[in-house]
Amino acid sequence: MSKEFLTTPLDKRKILPVKPAFAEILIKLAKKNKNIVVLDADLQRCSGTEPFMKKFPNRHFQMGISEQNMVSVAAGLALAGKIPFANTFANFLTKRACDQVSVSVAYNQANVKLCGDYAGMSTAKNGGTHCSVEDVAIIRAMPHMVVIAPADTIELQKAVEAAVKYKGPVYIRKVRGPMPQIFTKNYRFKIGRSVELMKGNDITIISYGAMTYYALIAGEKLKKKKIKARVINMSTIKPIDKKAILKAAKETKAIITIENHSIYGGIGGAVSEVVGENYPCLVKKIGIPDEFGETATFEWQLKYFDITSERIIRIAQKILK
Amino acid sequence: MTIKQLEKIAWQARYDLVKRVPVGLGLHWGGSMSLMEILSVLYFKFLKIDPKNPKKKNRDRLILSKGHGSPAQYAMMAERGFFPKSWLSRIDENGWKLPKHAHRLKLAGIEASTGALAQGLSMGIGMALAAKLDKAKWHTYVIGSDGECTEGQFWEAALSANKFRLDNLTLIIDNNRMTLDNHIKIVMPSLNISKMFKAAGWQVYECDGHNVKQLVDRISRALKIKNKPVAIVANTIKGKGISFMEDNPSWHSGKLTKEQKEKALKEISKRLKKYE
Ligand SMILES: Cc1ncc(C[n+]2csc(CCOP(=O)(O)OP(=O)(O)O)c2C)c(N)n1
Ligand SMILES: [Mg+2]
């Protein structure tokens, strides 16, 4: 069986831009599937769909700064048989157009693929009005929504492919990037399936999106301290991989979650819900506290909110003492 | 303040902003440069405010609804004496007072935090309603943009401002006919701001948004209108004053190189010289 993810040193990984990867997969799929259409809300420079627009000009809709309209129009397209990809910043997609996502898309079970860009602190200096601290929580709570947050550009491409095959609303949470490579081309992405990137039975670290890389760094450093951490990339936040969570709860001492999102309602919340009902265990949540994002670089904010590999290590050592 | 002085302040603020912002810092240059005359006229002619006492009771309120124009507002606030000009070199520093989109909790003199487009007019309506309730004389000014006029909330706001007969509210649209991705004629060709505000029952004036005399005239007239809100559609040029930015969608936001910065400063200095 060929390897699904890299095991090369973390500091030697390729760092790949998000936009071209997204455009590439959209174009590839759209060549085969003529129902795929794309919508933008005056943030095409950030979604990166320009190559798609150039290739399929009449299958691209520039909706202007009208996120609510864009989402409901996407729903209409879906109800008439299309597979629309609606793009804008995650924060505007899930909050400005929140009711439209809920009613036009989720309530109608419209086959819309919502793609939220520059998620969480990755919006960096765009600041608090652009930083989606609670998008996962909001969309996760909406009936029938699937929520996926890829950990690298390969997983993003696989997720887009899976979203096209899946019939129903999907939210794909993208970060600004560039993102260090985690997976190989052989990765078999499946909605709802998490991947154990590092084996271990002492403690479990669960993450998604941009934080998976930091979880791996923590895992490596813990290894040197003789602590074997299980590192799980849980890119599908809904439907959540209950089996993997419960297995971790049973086999390891505790679970630490880390995310580029609020500690309320994100993966920390989702994991707690699962273990709380089935196999109570300690879940330590690392994420944005009860705050909005800051106008600052991604790295600066990670330090500011202490969403770091070091924090994982500190917590793990304390628990295992 | 004479017309000449107000003009000069606009160019001075452009100069200070370009001069002080470090090379390589990504800012919304286009939408900041188009705002300068509107801001100089407001800050130096109409706004009843006290830079030394930014929370003064009964001060006029200004909301920059297109929050990404904050760098221009910072430059003008520095001209007006809210803080030293040296602060401009620290715009967008990690976690600091002058973020890319202004925040009322970070800087005194900012009345409402914006950055997510098209909420400022509604907040302005709230303020104007509060002033009416208090029988207070202060006035609310909102600066919006053509891009914001493509958002639904702007028109929900437009209808309600007329319903409540808010003659203590003046909206100025920085109509640079461009949004982030492209020219408005490509992004949303059906947009006709003046007609739409008229249809919503507003008094509408148009003017050249870089012509200080016209701006002063329109705002003076707006303040005399009774029983309805006024929208001033100020036609501007995105990136005004810097040749390679003017009317160029790539300069919605961007980073200046050292050479570009020098060129920009040279061009602006030339304009400033006329006022010596
Ligand atoms: C609700 C919302 N959607 C999208 C954006 C991203 N955005 C920032 S500026 C901009 C274009 C603005 O164009 P306009 O409002 O006309 O401003 P100006 O041309 O003066 O820069 C966009 C789409 C945003 N800030 N808020
Ligand atoms: Mg504009």
Taking an 8 Å cut-off on Cβ atoms, the answer to whether B150 and A42 are in contact is yes
pLDDT band of A1, cuts 50, 70, 90: low
Taking an 8 Å cut-off on Cβ atoms, the answer to whether B148 and A65 are in contact is yes
> Are both A39 and A161 inside the same structural domain?
yes
Ligand 1 atom 25: residue of nearest CA: B116
Ligand having the closest approach to the CA of B119 = 1
Mutation pick from A131, A295, A304 vs chain B, by most beta carbons of B within 10 Å, is: A295
> Are both A136 and A62 inside the same structural domain?
yes
Distance CA A221, CA A201 (A): 15
Helices (H), B42-119: 70-80
Residue at which a domain ends, from A122, A154, A180? A180
Minimum Cα–Cα distance from B70: chain A residue: A126
pLDDT of residue A2: 79
Query: Would you say the CB of residue A42 lies under 6 angstroms from ligand 1?
Result: yes
> Are both A80 and A212 inside the same structural domain?
no
* Ligand 1 atom at minimal distance to the Cα of residue A43: 23
On whether residue A175 sits in a domain, the answer given is: yes
Q: What is the CATH number of the domain that holds A67?
A: 3.40.50.970
Ligand 1 atom 4: residue of nearest CA: A65
What are the residue boundaries of the structural domains of chain B, listed by start?
A: 3-273
On whether residue A152 sits in a domain, the answer given is: yes
CB A99 within 8 A of CB A124: no
> Are both A27 and A165 inside the same structural domain?
yes
Residue at which a domain ends, from A146, A180, A214? A180
CB A207 within 8 A of CB A256: no
Q: How many CA atoms lie within 13 A of A299 on its CB side?
A: 2
Query: Would you say the CB of residue B144 lies under 6 angstroms from ligand 1?
Result: no
Would you call B179 an interface residue with chain A, using a CB distance cutoff of 8 Å?
A: yes
pLDDT of residue A80: 97
Segment B238-255, tens digit of pLDDT = 999 999 999 999 999 999
Burial class of A159 by CB neighbour count within 10 A (0 to 12, 13 to 18, 19+): buried
Statement: residue A223 has pLDDT above 90: yes
Query: Would you say the CB of residue B180 lies under 6 angstroms from ligand 1?
Result: yes
Mutation pick from A69, A72, A125 vs chain B, by most beta carbons of B within 10 Å, is: A125
Phi-psi region of B114 (alpha: psi -120 to 50; beta: other; left: phi over 0): beta
CB neighbour list of residue B86: distance below 8 Å, 6 or more residues apart: B20
Which residue range forms the structural domain that includes residue A145?
15-180
Per DSSP bridges, beta strands A179-180 and A229-233 are unpaired
Minimum Cα–Cα distance from B250: chain A residue: A45
Q: In angstroms, how far is CA A19 from the centroid of its own chain?
A: 15
The model's pTM is: 0.96
Sequential DSSP letters for A105-173: IIITT---EEEEES-GGGGGGG-TTT--SSHHHHHHTSTT-EEE--SSHHHHHHHHHHHHHS-S-EEEE
* Ligand 1 atom at minimal distance to the Cα of residue B66: 15
Task: Please state, rounded to an integer, the average pLDDT across all residues of chain B.
Answer: 98
CB A156 within 8 A of CB A22: yes
Stretch B122-136: mean pLDDT, rounded? 98
Taking an 8 Å cut-off on Cβ atoms, the answer to whether B181 and A68 are in contact is no
pLDDT of residue B125: 98
What's the total number of domains in chain A?
2
Cis peptide before A178 (omega within 30 of 0): yes
Smallest Cβ distance to A127: which of B26, B101, B188? B101
Catalytic residue selected from A24, A50, A67, A161: A67
Distance CA A101, CA A95 (A): 9
Taking an 8 Å cut-off on Cβ atoms, the answer to whether A297 and B117 are in contact is no
Sequential DSSP letters for A179-246: EE--B-TT----TT--EEEE--SSEEEEE-GGGHHHHHHHHHHHHHTT--EEEEE--EEES--HHHHH
Q: What is the 3-state secondary structure (H, E, C) of A211-228?
A: HHHHHHHHHHHHHHCCCC
Would you call B123 an interface residue with chain A, using a CB distance cutoff of 8 Å?
A: no
Would you call B92 an interface residue with chain A, using a CB distance cutoff of 8 Å?
A: yes
Segment B175-213, tens digit of pLDDT = 999 999 999 999 999 999 999 999 999 999 999 999 999
Q: What is the CATH number of the domain that holds A305?
A: 3.40.50.920
On whether residue A185 sits in a domain, the answer given is: no
> Are both A142 and A29 inside the same structural domain?
yes
On whether residue A26 sits in a domain, the answer given is: yes
> Are both A156 and A43 inside the same structural domain?
yes
On whether residue A78 sits in a domain, the answer given is: yes
Would you call B113 an interface residue with chain A, using a CB distance cutoff of 8 Å?
A: yes
Closest listed residue to residue A53, CA positions, set A37, A75, A34: A37
**Cα–Cα separations (whole angstroms), residue A282 to A29, A232, A249:** 42, 16, 8
Ligand 1 atom 22: residue of nearest CA: B180
> Are both A62 and A203 inside the same structural domain?
no
> Are both A255 and A213 inside the same structural domain?
yes
Statement: residue B131 has pLDDT above 80: yes
CB B262 within 8 A of CB B236: no
> What's the farthest any 2 CA atoms get from each other in chain B?
54
CA dihedral A235, A294, A265, A71 (to 10 degrees): -70
Q: Contacts of residue B94 in chain A, CB cutoff 8 Å?
A: 294-297, 300
Stretch B34-59: mean pLDDT, rounded? 98
Query: Would you say the CB of residue A19 lies under 6 angstroms from ligand 1?
Result: no
> Are both A147 and A295 inside the same structural domain?
no
> Are both A55 and A135 inside the same structural domain?
yes
State percent of chain A over pLDDT 70: 100
CA dihedral A250, A252, A258, A264 (to 10 degrees): 40
pLDDT of residue B198: 98
Smallest Cβ distance to B179: which of A64, A127, A294? A64
Burial class of B267 by CB neighbour count within 10 A (0 to 12, 13 to 18, 19+): middle
Q: Contacts of residue B115 in chain A, CB cutoff 8 Å?
A: 126-130
Distance CA B169, CA A22 (A): 44
Minimum Cα–Cα distance from B26: chain A residue: A125
Residue at which a domain ends, from A145, A180, A215? A180
Q: Contacts of residue B113 in chain A, CB cutoff 8 Å?
A: 128-129
Told to judge if A67 belongs to the known catalytic residues of this protein, a careful annotator would answer yes
CB neighbour list of residue B77: distance below 8 Å, 6 or more residues apart: B43, B51, B83, B109
Look up residue B149 and give its DSSP letter: G
* Ligand 1 atom at minimal distance to the Cα of residue B117: 26
Helices (H), chain B: 3-20, 29-33, 36-41, 70-80, 120-133, 152-163, 184-187, 193-199, 212-224, 258-273
Superfamily for B3-273? Thiamin diphosphate (ThDP)-binding fold, Pyr/PP domains (3.40.50.970)
> Are both A47 and A126 inside the same structural domain?
yes
CB B175 within 8 A of CB B207: no
Provide the token pair at A119. Answer: 């998620």
On whether residue A60 sits in a domain, the answer given is: yes
> Are both A28 and A167 inside the same structural domain?
yes
Segment A270-315, tens digit of pLDDT = 999 999 999 999 999 999 999 999 999 999 999 999 999 999 999 9
pLDDT of residue A235: 98
